[in-house]
Structures are given as C-alpha cells and as structure tokens.
Amino acid sequence: MAPSSSLDRARQLWSGFKGNAGGEGGVSRGKVSSGDLAALFILKTILDLKLFETGWQRDVSIRIDAGQGSDLQIQGPDEKRAQVLEWIKTVRAAPLPDAYFARAREVAIHRLDSVRPDLQALTWERDPMGTTQDLETISARLVQDVARLYF
C-alpha cells in the first residue's frame, strides 16, 4: 500500500513490530483503533492548519509515528501543547463548518504519502490483512467522534 518511494520506510516500521504471520497481530501501542487512523490523520491535518494559522509551525510538531504507537505525538512547549489540546476539544464539541472540513480533508489527501507508511504499519500491527480507509470517505462527524473518543 505504500508508494515505491516509501517502501523501505514501511518495511523498516513493519519489521519493528512483534506478531506472527498467522493472522494474530502483536501487542499494539496507542489507543486509536486501526479503523480510526484515517480520521486521526485528518484531525492531525486540521491541527497542522491551526499551527500554520497561528505561526507556530516551527514551535510545535504533531506527528503520527508508527514507532511510537497510534496516538498523536504532540511536541512543543507546554503552553502550546495545551493549546493544541484545546483545539482538539473544540473539534470534539462542535461540528466543523463544511467548507473548512472539505479543505482540511483535501490537504490531508495531498499529504497522505508523507504518513502512509506509518498508517499502514499501524493498521498491519492489529490486522495483517487490513488497509487504510480512503480519506475521501471520512466525514466531519467521524473526525469529531475520533476527537471525542481518544482525547
């Protein structure tokens, strides 16, 4: 599922996981289920857009890293990390405007290759036959539910 330019990274991530080829996955790290990973990526993209809007893109890093598990990795000064969590609470509390969500999803689609190996490795960790959900099928409601469930 990873593009050829990312195959080495995908193999490296996947080989670091424990499990067997018989169908049972290894012990997974992180609380986000494999079915919610695509929506988590769109949530991450929404947060990245907020970082850009506030000019914090050099101060705060938000990543999905299969080596760290299925949670968002938010790195930066404590006060800015706290603000990122507040942004997540805002997504959790009220639906995003349709136009804003459509823009964020489109940005996520164009940036998917940067995180595809991590999403696929996290999916395979739990289900060796699993695939990453198509971002076009992710609704604003699902992103809101992910924010509610995991944050």
Helices 37-54 and 140-150 cross at an angle (nearest 10°) of 90
Over residues 82-137, the pLDDT tens digits come to 999 999 999 999 999 999 999 999 999 999 999 999 999 999 988 888 888 999 99
Residue 128, token pair as written in the block: 């060796």
pLDDT band for position 6 (50/70/90)? low
State residue 128's pLDDT score. Answer: 86
Query: Rounded to 10 degrees, what is the CA torsion of 119, 25, 18, 31?
Result: 50
pTM for this structure?
0.82
Residue type for position 71: D
Compare 132 and 65 and report the one with higher pLDDT. Answer: 65
